[in-house]
C-alpha cells in the first residue's frame, strides 16, 4: 500500500523540504510541522556567517594598517635576519673608534645601481669600485637625477653579494628605505658611509671572499607599494 497514493511525487518533495506531506493518510490539506533540528542548524549557520564577516572586516583593517607600516617593518626584518644579503646597521661610535683594521685582508667593493620600471630616474654610482680592509670606514657616492618635468618621490632597497657577507657589511649612513623627493631636472649626490666588521676576517666561510658588491634599486614611492625581498625578484 502506497503511503501517499497518487500524490507520491508531491509528497516526496515535501519530505525533502522537511515538511509533512499534504496527501495520503493526512488528507489533501495536511498539516505542516517545523523541524527543531533544522531551525537550530539555520541559526548556527547564521551565527557562523556573522563571525566570518567580522573576521574578514578585521583582516581588511589590519592589512591597511600594515601597508602604512610596511617599510619600517621590512627594514627591521631584513636587518635582523640579513635576508638576501641585507647589510647591518652601523654599531655605536665606541665600537667604530675601537676597531682595529685587518691590514692583511684587502677587499674590493664594487657598486651597482638599478631603477625599477615604475620610476623615471637616472641613477648610477659615482665610483665603480674601492678597496677596503675589515675594521676601516669607507665613503662612496651615488648620483640620482629626475629628468622629467614633474616631481618624483623615490625609495630604495639594497643588498650585498655574496649574501653571506651582508651580516658583516655595516652602514653608518645611507639613503635606503627613506623617501627621496627630486624636483624636475634636479640632481643629487647620495652618500654611503660604511665599514666591514673585523669579524669578517675570522669567519672561515669568508676565507675565499675578496669581492663584495653593494647594489641599490630605486622604486617610485606610492601608497601601498610593496618592496621586494632583497636578493629576490
Whether residue 53 has pLDDT greater than 60? no
In eight-state DSSP terms, residue 198 is G
Nearest to 97 by CA among 169, 198, 210, 214: 198
User: Domain 98-220 belongs to what topology?
Assistant: Ctag/Cox11 (Pfam 04442) (2.60.370)
pLDDT class for 95, splitting at 50, 70, 90?
A: confident
Domain boundaries, the chain: 50-87, 98-220
Whether residue 70 has pLDDT greater than 90? no
- Residue 96: predicted pLDDT: 85
Q: What is the value of pTM for the model shown?
A: 0.59
pLDDT class for 36, splitting at 50, 70, 90?
A: low
pLDDT class for 102, splitting at 50, 70, 90?
A: very high
- Report the range of poorest mean pLDDT among 63-67, 141-145, 203-207, 214-218: 63-67
Instruction: Name the strands in the sheet holding 187-196, side by side, starting at the edge strand that comes first in the sequence.
Output: 88-89, 169-173, 187-196, 137-145, 122-125
Strand, coil or helix: what is 182? strand
Residues 199-224 pLDDT 10s = 999 999 999 999 999 999 999 987 65
Amino acid at each position: 500500500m502506497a503511503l501517499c497514493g497518487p500524490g507520491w511525487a508531491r509528497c516526496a518533495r515535501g519530505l525533502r523540504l522537511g515538511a509533512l506531506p499534504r496527501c495520503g493518510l493526512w488528507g489533501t490539506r495536511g498539516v505542516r510541522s517545523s523541524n527543531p533540528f533544522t531551525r537550530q542548524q539555520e541559526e548556527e549557520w547564521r551565527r557562523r556567517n556573522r563571525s566570518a564577516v567580522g573576521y574578514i572586516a578585521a583582516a581588511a583593517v589590519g592589512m591597511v594598517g600594515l601597508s602604512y607600516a610596511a617599510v619600517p617593518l621590512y627594514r627591521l626584518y631584513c636587518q635582523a635576519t640579513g635576508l638576501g644579503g641585507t647589510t647591518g646597521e652601523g654599531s655605536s661610535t665606541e665600537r667604530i673608534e675601537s676597531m682595529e683594521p685587518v691590514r692583511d685582508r684587502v677587499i674590493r667593493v664594487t657598486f651597482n645601481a638599478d631603477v625599477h620600471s615604475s620610476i623615471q630616474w637616472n641613477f648610477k654610482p659615482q665610483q665603480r669600485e674601492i678597496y677596503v680592509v675589515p675594521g676601516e670606514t669607507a665613503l662612496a657616492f651615488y648620483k640620482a637625477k629626475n629628468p622629467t618635468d614633474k616631481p618624483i618621490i623615490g625609495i630604495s632597497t639594497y643588498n650585498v653579494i655574496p649574501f653571506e657577507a651582508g651580516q658583516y657589511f655595516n652602514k653608518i649612513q645611507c639613503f635606503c628605505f627613506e623617501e627621496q623627493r627630486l624636483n624636475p631636472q634636479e640632481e643629487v649626490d647620495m652618500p654611503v658611509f660604511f665599514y666591514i666588521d673585523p669579524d669578517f676576517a675570522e669567519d672561515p666561510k669568508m676565507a675565499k671572499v675578496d669581492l663584495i658588491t653593494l647594489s641599490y634599486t630605486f622604486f617610485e614611492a606610492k601608497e601601498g607599494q610593496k618592496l621586494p625581498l632583497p636578493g629576490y625578484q
